[in-house]
Amino acid sequence: MLPTIEWKGKHIRMIDQRKLPGKVEWVICKNDKDVVRAVRCMVIRGAPAIGVAAAMGLALGSETIKADTYDAFERRFREMAGWMVKARPTAVNLRWAVERMILLVEQMGGRDPEEIRIALREESEKMLSEDIEINLKIGEHGNKLVPRKAVILTHCNAGSLATGGYGTALGVIRAAHEAGKQIEVIADETRPWLQGLRLTAFELMEDGIPVTVIADSAAGSLMRQGKVDLVITGADRIAANGDVANKIGTYQVAVLARENKIPFYVAAPLSTIDLRIKSGDRIQVEERDPSEISHFQKIRVGPRGVKAYNPAFDVTPGKYVTGIITEKGILKAPYPKKMKELFRK
């Protein structure tokens, strides 16, 4: 598995996911603004991955703060954190990571700025290693839900490229494959960025896991024919009632799964659950440039001047979710009660 993001000396490097699978190219970030830009323009994507990127970006940015006192450092760091948290609005892991870094600075009140810079970098490294360990646990729990022989449909990319490593939805698939189960994967192409075709298929082929890519609109037909045993996706934010925000197209997959009596699971770390939001109706859904719909690789494919609507995510009501696979176990309805119990463990 290629590392999604890592420290390289005094800089951060991240694999440019816009270029995969045709080219493995690294983007070097020399300051926090470079990281914000990389998150916004999809160099790096996936809720856990951009959370790690935010933490690393703030640690990197702290090196540029010219301050001799704690108060001056803290004031500038908060400004930097404010820009970072706005990079992409839907994925809650971004805000979670920023708040964790702010808390660290607060806990080091009165300390020398250089000491805080060192602590921030160490914290970002810790968050990366924690994310990988969390994904391994998600895979361990999720594997229990996968039959000895199964065809699994997934949407978008929730693999190592969307996380610090191993993956959430693909982490479950990897764990089942490593356990010797006969796994086949059907990957929705996932318009308009084609994360399923470009990234999920790439990851699974690298691991030797059988994968077939389909047009997004073919999923229902395959379900109706009995060719799908279960669905596993990732998530960018989960509300307290179990509503799930994920890549656009996830909602229709969940509805089709319910209609065809197929289990629909969501794999995500606890950091993706936002107990401050009561329902998915309150989740801010990012809208991206309409040209991502009307153009393909910067080539116009639609008629000149056509209007396009490009929401990056949709919200799947909790009633369609069979279970949420986390690092602490599998959540099932009623979600508000079960989530609170899980967070208390």
**Element containing residue 232 per DSSP (H, E):** strand 230-233
Question: Is residue 104 a contact partner of residue 98, using CB atoms and an 8 Å limit?
Answer: no
Of the candidates 122, 94, 125, the residue with the CA atom closest to the CA atom of residue 108: 122
Active site residue 236: yes
Choosing from 34, 131, 188, 236, the catalytic residue is 236
Alpha-carbon gap, residue 322 to 209, rounded angstroms: 25
Of the candidates 236, 286, 287, the residue with the CA atom closest to the CA atom of residue 266: 236
Phi, psi of 8 (to 5 degrees): -130, 90
**Element containing residue 124 per DSSP (H, E):** helix 113-143
Q: Which two tokens stand for residue 205?
A: 């082929």
Phi, psi of 316 (to 5 degrees): -100, 120
Alpha-carbon gap, residue 182 to 208, rounded angstroms: 12
Within 8 A by CB and 6+ apart from 183, the residues are 146, 150, 152, 173, 176, 177, 209, 210
Query: Where does residue 55 rank: exposed (0-12), middle (13-18), buried (19+ CB within 10 A)?
Result: buried
Question: Is residue 143 a contact partner of residue 152, using CB atoms and an 8 Å limit?
Answer: no
At position 282, the amino acid (one-letter code) is R
Question: Is residue 96 a contact partner of residue 85, using CB atoms and an 8 Å limit?
Answer: no
**Residues assigned a catalytic role:** 236
